[in-house]
Amino acid sequence: MLANTLGIFIGSFLSLFFFRKVAVFINLVDEPNARKHHQGAVPLVGGLSVFVVVFSFLCVFPETITSSYLYLVCAGALLLAGVLDDLYDISFKLRLVLQFIISGLMMSVGHLVLQDVGELIGPFSMGLGYFGYLATAVVVVGAINAFNMVDGIDGLLGALSTITFSALGVLFYVNGQHELTTFCLIIVVATIPYIFMNLGIPLGQRFKIFMGDAGSTVIGFTVVWLLLEGSQQQELSAFSPVTALWVAAVPIMDAVTTIARRIKKGHSPFRPDREHLHHILLRLGLSPRQALLAIFLVALFFATVGVLAEVLDWPQYVMFWAFCVITFIYFYIMSRIWRISVLIRRRFNIEKRSRQANKK
């Protein structure tokens, strides 16, 4: 196992360097614009590099997850669509159609359906029946786009996905499902080299790489695949469905509140903007690294609470309503964040300190 893990780590680093050169050659790069303030053209191959390694591992050890070949087909299609989107900026409607098709394959071929949501709203089990198929499609598409939407500052998507996969790995391990634990570990190990290069560690900004839509969508898909496999296997379930909310809390809350806020304003829910959590923290005067650390710690706290709730068998409906309350509070604050941020900036003289720092 140690040899496989080390091989994945080294393979991921080599893959990043290889695909970085390919990206420059075919112009698969991210250029700065009004919303993106990075310096220079940055290769968009982080996700491609990471998941080529993960896919290779699955091809050698297909028994690691159930329906591994179906996973490879679905995730591979998303990876290819993401690369094309990074290259040609394809319509979000076409991407949505593909995502719904993939959710249909998961249900019809892989039998991964959200049928039982556990004791979600009270001390009684709830089954969804045929409604579970619609709920599954919504959950799959939502998870894919939630992780895509949260990717906004260096290291953030890698850090959040690492927290989620690590928490899932712990839950699978506690339940004795060591193959799925291994799969989560492989993804985490393969992602770490990307995080280093995305942050410019240790080779500097010259070798910087972004995840790209190819990576963010496959991360979201892989998370929801494991969440369904871990919570809908009846006797073999490793955790309850509500625990899934906590281990991926930040992407879920940020996506839900962002979409709700856009709809409230009469905008398209898929219209890009600069009103995500990381944008707000930057506006409040935090540096990108400080914002990354703050969001990382919040996500780690939520994931830890989720794991503890599962291990200690806390009531599921209590955890669900607690999550709903936190999400509502988050939405309430974010809906008024610009007024709040102005007050905070004035109170702590953030603009004045920023100008003084720039003069230095």
The pLDDT tens digits of the residues spanning 226-265 come to: 999 999 876 678 899 999 999 999 999 988 888 888 887 7
pLDDT at res. 205: 77
Q: Yes or no: say if 246 and 305 are a contact pair by the CB < 8 Å rule.
A: yes
Burial string for 57-80 (b: 16+ CB within 10 Å, else e) reads: bbeeeeebbbbbebbbebbebbbe
pLDDT at res. 356: 44
pLDDT at res. 36: 52
Cα-Cα-Cα-Cα dihedral of 318, 323, 329, 331, to 10°? -150
Give the residue, 341 or 70, on which the prediction is more confident: 70
Convert the pLDDT of each residue in 181-210 to its tens digit: 999 999 999 999 999 999 988 777 788 899
* pLDDT for residue 357 is more than 50: no
Least confident segment among 41-50, 51-60, 234-243: 234-243
Share of the chain above pLDDT 70, in %: 91
* DSSP string across 85-146: HHHH---HHHHHHHHHHHHHHHHHTS-----EEESSSSSS-EE-TTHHHHHHHHHHHHHHHH
The pTM (predicted TM-score) of the whole model is 0.90
Q: Please, what is the average pLDDT of the chain?
A: 87
* pLDDT for residue 352 is more than 80: no
